[in-house]
Structure 1
Amino acid sequence: MECPNCGTAVLVNDKFCEECGTSLTAVGCEKCGAQPEAIDEEGFCSVCGFRKEVQRLEIIIDSRLAGVSDRGLRHHRNEDYLTLQTVNSNTHILIVCDGVSSSSNPHLAAQTASESASTALIAAIKQQENPESAIKSAVAAALSSLCNIPYTKSINSEPASTTIVAAIVQENIATIGWLGDSRAYWISDNNSQQLTKDHSWLSEVVAAGEMTQAQAKQSPQANAITRWLGADAIDDAIPSIINFTIPSSGYLLLCSDGLWNYTPQPQQLANLIQQTSHTNAITISRSLVEFARHSGGHDNITVALLSL
């Protein structure tokens, strides 16, 4: 058996998951004990208003396209989200969002942005919009949805915000757009590379020659992002976009920093994938998430993978 919350293996007679504490005997609402019929279509309990948050999400489109988003070991909830779609046999969509923890409702921001962007991308593709324009339209749609999330302004709270990295893959071209430090990589036997450049304080001061990477990592600002998707960043919510020609067989990997903080170099990711000795996208995605958990799991971890 597996814990329905975090996926950890549990014994048949266990009453609680030793990993995350989730009750394995609760029915309906896990907070007040209401029966299953008290839970509405959106997952809210009609008795106490509690809604179980998604701590681990797995999406399997087929053997080539899949992904996993996991809470990790240190955070109390998962503030990442992913969306995957195959529009037709030659067109695939991958989106990873990482909610900004200092903002209001970062988990809702990530889910809302991911789902809104996916819906907009599908519509744009069906209307034969070019991929770069489709990415821009999708990010704009995601921003509009984020701005509709209720927010009470205060000194210690910011509007719902998230990073985003989104890819459209058509034939042998991947068009990738992003805001923040969620990344896209190309992984293959002899040509692994990072495709995106972080919108982060660390990345920018190193690129400007103001500090070495080792020096920048020691700064309190090391993890600060300089661009994101949110109502407080409307003027900067124009994604960076690249077109990548897929050179051979390999993997397009999108991920949040919960993974790449442990494996920043493309070859490290390539080595991990090679060690799985599998080509199935969900098996590889799970193995990468488990690697991050076993490495400390300090952040939420999200992996989206397309085998090509």
Structure 2
Amino acid sequence: MVRTCPSCEERVATGDVYCERCGHRVAAGLAGPPAPPAVPAPRDAAAADRGAGTDQGESTTAGTEVHTGPMPAVDPCTWCGAAVSAGYCNECGMSQPGDRDHVEVRAETAAGVSDRGLRHHRNEDAMAVLTSDDPAPVVVAVVCDGVSTSPHPEEAAHVAAETGAAVLADGLAAGSGPREATEAALAQAASAVAELAETEQAAPACTYVSAVVPADGGAITVGWVGDSRAYWLAGSPSATPSAVLTRDDSWSEAMVAMRVMTPAEARASAYAHALTAWLGADNAAGASGHVATVTPAGPGALVLCTDGLWNYFPDPGALCAAAPGAAADPLGAAQAYVRRALDAGGRDNITVVVIAVPGPQDGPGDDVRGSGGNAG
């Protein structure tokens, strides 16, 4: 039986609580689609609408944030005039417009853009970009994607991005190594999101990807949970080839890794975007996440993004072609990526952070997969 929204008759997925088109509440429960027993119970992130944020840690400089979306709505409801609470109308259930529909962040050699897309009534992605000179010049960035089948996913993404970036910057300033700081940031972000839960069955959730990039070149450290990604984009023919630096915590990725399905078969499955790990009180087993360190040879750019972008441009080569020369103009590249995703359909929120990466001072580069593993 096909489920439809009672307000606008848009088709909705089994686990959706709110209509992705109009924001009307369509179900009282939070149950997602059943998962095959071979992998942890997934959270359906196929159509997640997602809040964008930035924060400032000690001894850091936060990116300059420019809001270009509408100002937040206040009572009464924009749609029917009734009272509003927690961003939704008490009578018609419609989501209220927010002030984070389009946000841009600039911070020296890095920039980010977050946009709600064309189908959703609010932006539930989040990003944070910080720079620090203590003890050495470095760029810290975090991108998060709220899970639409959880309550208040925008809060989860916003809290995770702010917490992760602040803990990363503070840890580096206190003398922690990038890997140690990344592990600590993942743990603190997971705890912060878990604390938002009223019960385990009503737990806000989000994905998470972070990066520590030395401003003078050298090893890049990335950490992640879920299916938000980090890409290395080569800036010259002599640089390390472009590659995906993360591996999705998703049902489709698990099926391919176990050789149960081919990549094409997994992508065609109804479970293709179901998450097997996320930040949230209902998935503590996946909260430790993963950390990888890479040292690319030659200049280029590091791109952190949500699936609102990579669904349209999943391959590194496609990202390179969508915004050539990203390292030379991070803000222009981030803006171009969002425009390309909107032109391709804009079915999801879109968030992308681009960080310019200079070539190493000396020595050959490592394989871009580098050294990785669980953070815990």
Q: 2: CA distance between counterparts of 1:277 and 1:144?
A: 34
Match of 1:166 in 2: 210
Match of 1:223 in 2: 273
1:248 aligned to 2:303? no
Identify which of 107, 110, 113 aligns with 2:160.
113
Q: 2: CA distance between counterparts of 1:293 and 1:82?
A: 19
- Note closer, same or farther for the CA distance 1:75–1:246 as it changes in structure 2 (3 Å cut): same
What is the CA deviation profile of residues 145-171 of structure 1, one whole-angstrom value per residue up to 9, with x for unaligned ones?
1122253565xxx40110000011124
Identify which of 60, 72, 89 aligns with 2:117.
72
Q: Kindly provide the amino acid, as one letter, of the partner of residue 102 in structure 1.
A: T
Instruction: State the shift of 1:246 in Å.
Output: 2.6
Q: 1: CA distance between counterparts of 2:73 and 2:183?
A: 40
Q: 1: CA distance between counterparts of 2:320 and 2:163?
A: 31
- Note closer, same or farther for the CA distance 1:51–1:262 as it changes in structure 2 (3 Å cut): closer
Q: Kindly provide the amino acid, as one letter, of the partner of residue 118 in structure 1.
A: A
Displaced runs of 4 or more, over 4 A: 27-33
Instruction: State the shift of 1:76 in Å.
Output: 1.4
- Listed as ranges, the gaps of 5+ residues in structure 1 are 1-21, 34-43, 45-49
What is the CA deviation profile of residues 50-72 of structure 1, one whole-angstrom value per residue up to 9, with x for unaligned ones?
8834111110112x210001100
Match of 1:149 in 2: 196
CA RMSD of aligned residues (A): 2.2
Match of 1:129 in 2: 176
Contact 1:65 1:281 in 2 (8 A): yes
Q: Kindly provide the amino acid, as one letter, of the partner of residue 164 in structure 1.
A: Y
Match of 2:286 in 1: 236
1:18-57 equivalent positions in 2, closer than 5 A:
31-32=75-76, 52-57=98-103
May I ask how many residue pairs the two structures share in their alignment?
264
Q: 1: CA distance between counterparts of 2:124 and 2:203?
A: 15
Q: Kindly provide the amino acid, as one letter, of the partner of residue 245 in structure 2.
A: L
Match of 2:230 in 1: 184
Contact 2:300 2:356 in 1 (8 A): yes
Greater share of helix: 1
Q: 1: CA distance between counterparts of 2:170 and 2:225?
A: 21
Give the structure-2-normalised TM-score.
0.66
Contact 1:104 1:151 in 2 (8 A): no
Give the match's secondary structure for 2:333.
helix
Match of 1:289 in 2: 338
Q: Percent identity?
A: 36
1:300 aligned to 2:349? yes
1:262 aligned to 2:312? yes
- Listed as ranges, the gaps of 5+ residues in structure 2 are 1-68, 78-86, 88-95, 358-376
